Structure 1
């Protein structure tokens, strides 16, 4: 989800700078709401569990795509499926993202610890390789959306600042300890409305428990449609998230995003779009010098899963209050 969300501001910039070009985004149907404000963009959703499954499915998909009179392909994912499409769409200009694997390997090994090119710029490079100038330095964002009746009934329409908090990530090693996050929620909810985001049965259960303990804390997870959740995020004043999809969703909507980093690091290029470095709160590398231990947070030495405990709740609160 984060990869798709990171593409949105790049495509927004492209459509503004090349209004004569029509874009067809090949992605899962679930992500279609990401692109609803981009007038030159059409989403083509494959059925990856049905007729587009496997090698023969990719061949069938390529045949369908050829009927769209596509002039070129920008592959910003560069995975097995898109490699197959490249083969089946032979003859079309087909440029693929350079993921910078060697640079990222050097970063993880500690032989070249420095800021790498951002994923957003890597996406833009694919379009540049196709011959299109693309500048990401002056981004625009959609307006905040009107909330649905369901969302208003859940959240209300108070005059408080709205702070979104998405405390989960794909791996526990990318998360801020929930007891410390509760300390953050305790303080913020005294003055602001805190909206909790997540997904999955266990996560929703935990968020419901937090909601029940504090005034001004509302669990959004599992209670709204995905589009309604996006509209709620578009109305937040600040989003607090991990190195995860929710951070990128809020950033694509032009929100102020504070991110908490555990065993991963913004140097790998996955910081949310258009956010100052001061919005990324990092684990103490003097105590945990091997950070980043991996690009995606799935590998780490024993004890490093606790690295985020070196980030004090009061520093998170202070960063959010400064942005407010």
Structure 2
């Protein structure tokens, strides 16, 4: 007689990098608890990630203002009627999920919340008296939350592409068939403290664009990012911008074929890591010690400077105390080029 499926609801709304970091843990749960059925609550546009790993997905559509209250209650009712949940696991711990916790607990549903380690992260970023040490990774924090819910695991994950997958016709019209080396460059991040100066990253693009056997593939999001990457695409040979041309699921297919990805401390580092693509990650105001480094990425691929003021924040959203963002501006393009060469040589 087969066991009744265990119904697990997992909440992680944003940011994209943090959402991507749930994947190794969720896949490990699926593998080590075959009778577990997992449903993820996150922003609707990240659904392709979870479609790829075969878990259920629900995306809330919540309007702003008073109508949002109605939407929220309707969404909770939808979740509550969807399954009889054995446990709800909150990997985000924000107002949205805290309100869900209140409602689920009123129905008697077990609800387990992540410990984000806020105090130790604060101590890591305090200046001048830092507790400068490696903190548990976000993967470990996610796994510990599942453990407290009764699901201890060993995180075992390699790639979301265990089998070779072909590029779609839409992608091929942009990239062409792969020949030679493909270098991905994702030069942006949400906050200034995590962005390498574009004029310096342009030197990296220029350097590799002159190699006939190498193709540069640029990744970005918003309108201003698309504009700059389009300029680079026009200016340099063997350079293609994917910004605004394909969606998330298709981007993953391209990242899977890259020989290396150059990324800030941003979502693209984590997306490429899910594809087992080597990442040269560039760090400024933030630091890998905070626990947000890409899955299975070697430490030797990190580009960063040793400064007493680093890290000054966990998310890179604080103004530079010196006013010059020396943590990023003093990194030379040649340092990044050397890391790339070490991987693709």
d(CA) in 1 for partners of 2:324, 2:288: 17
Find 1:58's aligned residue among 60, 64, 72. 72
Find 1:142's aligned residue among 136, 154, 160. 160
d(CA) in 2 for partners of 1:244, 1:93: 33
> Where does residue 37 of structure 1 map in the other structure?
52
* Counterpart secondary structure, 2:23: helix
> Where does residue 11 of structure 1 map in the other structure?
26
TM-fit CA distance, 1:50: 7.5
TM (normalized to structure 1)?
A: 0.94
Find 1:75's aligned residue among 83, 90, 95. 90
Structure 1 gap segments, 5+ residues each: none
Preserved CA contact (<8 Å) 2:144 2:152: no
With over 3 angstroms needed to count, the CA separation of the structure-2 counterparts of 1:53 and 1:107, relative to structure 1, is: farther
TM-fit CA distance, 1:224: 1.7
Larger mean Cα displacement after TM superposition, 93-102 or 294-303: 294-303
State yes or no: 1:122 paired with 2:141.
yes
Q: CA RMSD, aligned part only?
A: 1.8
Preserved CA contact (<8 Å) 1:51 1:60: no
d(CA) in 2 for partners of 1:52, 1:272: 39
d(CA) in 2 for partners of 1:230, 1:42: 19
d(CA) in 2 for partners of 1:7, 1:112: 27
d(CA) in 2 for partners of 1:20, 1:151: 37
Find 2:251's aligned residue among 213, 225, 229. 229
* Counterpart secondary structure, 1:234: helix
Structure 2 gap segments, 5+ residues each: 1-15
TM (normalized to structure 2)?
A: 0.88
Task: Map 1:1-324 onto structure 2 (within 5 A).
Answer: 1-39=16-54, 41-49=55-63, 54-67=68-81, 68-90=83-105, 91-109=108-126, 110-136=129-155, 138-143=156-161, 144-191=164-211, 192-285=214-307, 289-299=308-318, 300-324=320-344
**CA offsets per residue over residues 236-281 of structure 1, 9 Å max, x none?**
1111100111111111222111110111111111111111111221
Preserved CA contact (<8 Å) 1:195 1:217: yes
With over 3 angstroms needed to count, the CA separation of the structure-2 counterparts of 1:35 and 1:88, relative to structure 1, is: same
